Amino acid sequence: MDNEQIKLLDKENIMHTYSRYDVCLTKGRGVYAYDNNGKEYIDVSSGIGVNSLGYCNPGWVEAVQKQTAKIQHISNYYYNEVAGELAQKLTKATGMSKLFFGNSGAEANECAIKVARKYSFDKYGSNRNHIVTLKNSFHGRTIATLSATGQDVFHNFFFPFVDNFDYAEADNIDSLKSVVTDKTCAVMLEVVQGEGGVNILSQSYLKAVEKFCKEKDILLIIDEVQTGVGRTGKLFGYMHSGIKPNIVTIAKGIGGGLPIGICLVDNTLKDVMGVSSHGTTFGSNPVVCAGANYVIDTVNNQDFLSDVNKKGGYIKDSVLKIKGVKSVRQLGLMIGIEIDGNVGDVAKRCSQEGLLIITAKTLLRMLPPLNITYEEIDKAVGILKKVMEEN
């Protein structure tokens, strides 16, 4: 199929909920993706942080293929070896107690919201069900997670939304304290607001939130859907500050390219969700879990994670030398670039020149594969420089 045929199929048959770049990807290897004409793209967006080990990483492909040929799906009525192994790896790595398997970030957050409200209902009755989230956050596209998302642009058309989400200023403990009431059961936040523009919350703020929540028996939910699984140079972003959340949600990068969402809970919450209180058909799918086992085995390694930090710092230093770059926000390989000029235009020009880079609000955003090499970084930054300095 040529590019025009692929675009036509999309235009005629798929709801236009996304504006697309003029790019048709049909094959990928490592940090490179290709269209059917053989045009090569270096991709520093990784399918929005999903392909954490790049396209078609051989070890990941092997794990997935082997599992597909062994048993491809087991309903949740039966025990599942692969899911059990993944769960144990994640609870051990985080010190959390138990987890629930879903299929996406939004679903992981839905589970977190249900756990928080159920915990509070069991302990305090039905009136303590408010959840405080942060302005400029992003938590997903279901009705409940849109409600949790602290951005007015997401609160349109689909009324009624879910009640009792309250929004505080990000990185401002006084704002949080003023929004919390005796009806608040949880605070939910991203340690780096990804979609909101790579907004890195300070460690002192996170510690203050943790302390304040503990005093009031308010659960702290950390949405690690974008920041998790090595992205920020620690296994989870919250680990930079040493806080201990009650609930952690992950998705995107843990699957290495297959759909998965996970809600981890601590010891106090491990029995809050009883039989029949929650479920999802595809959750804990063994093929997906086999891929995720490969990802966590690769990423949960001190040398690997310190390389993520070094490479992130290297990208920041390189990008700061480009004319027109005003500042860089960077934690590990989560990178936001503030520039003179329109980021949409720059990202589009980059795609024409063979670099796939995305945007977040008014910033350019890079979420490269965690195993990107320095040569590949130089190549990607070279294309960005060319495009920026032509502008």
| Residue ranges binding ligand PLP (CB under 6 A) | 104-106, 109, 138-140, 190, 194-195, 223, 225-226, 251-252
Task: Give the span between the Cα atoms of 256 and 184, in whole angstroms.
Answer: 35
User: Which is nearest to 335 in space by CA: 367, 379, 374, 376?
Assistant: 367
SS3 382: helix
Q: Nearer Cβ to ligand PLP, position 36 or 280?
A: 280
Q: How far is the CB of 145 from ligand PLP (least distance, A)?
A: 7
Q: Nearer Cβ to ligand PLP, position 147 or 226?
A: 226
Q: Nearer Cβ to ligand PLP, position 112 or 180?
A: 112
Task: Give the span between the Cα atoms of 385 and 227, in whole angstroms.
Answer: 26
Which contiguous run of DSSP H or E holds residue 186? strand 184-189
Q: Nearer Cβ to ligand PLP, position 140 or 312?
A: 140
DSSP, res 137: -
Position with the least CB separation from ligand PLP: 105
Q: Nearer Cβ to ligand PLP, position 59 or 259?
A: 259
Q: How far is the CB of 86 from ligand PLP (least distance, A)?
A: 17
* C-alpha distances out from residue 271 to 108, 123, 125, 277, 281, Å: 17, 13, 17, 11, 21
Q: How far is the CB of 50 from ligand PLP (least distance, A)?
A: 9
Q: How far is the CB of 345 from ligand PLP (least distance, A)?
A: 24
Q: How far is the CB of 373 from ligand PLP (least distance, A)?
A: 25
Q: How far is the CB of 107 from ligand PLP (least distance, A)?
A: 7
Q: What is the number of helices (H) and of strands (E) in the chain?
A: 12, 17
Q: Nearer Cβ to ligand PLP, position 233 or 255?
A: 255
Tell me the Cα Rg of the chain: 21
Amino acid at 178: S
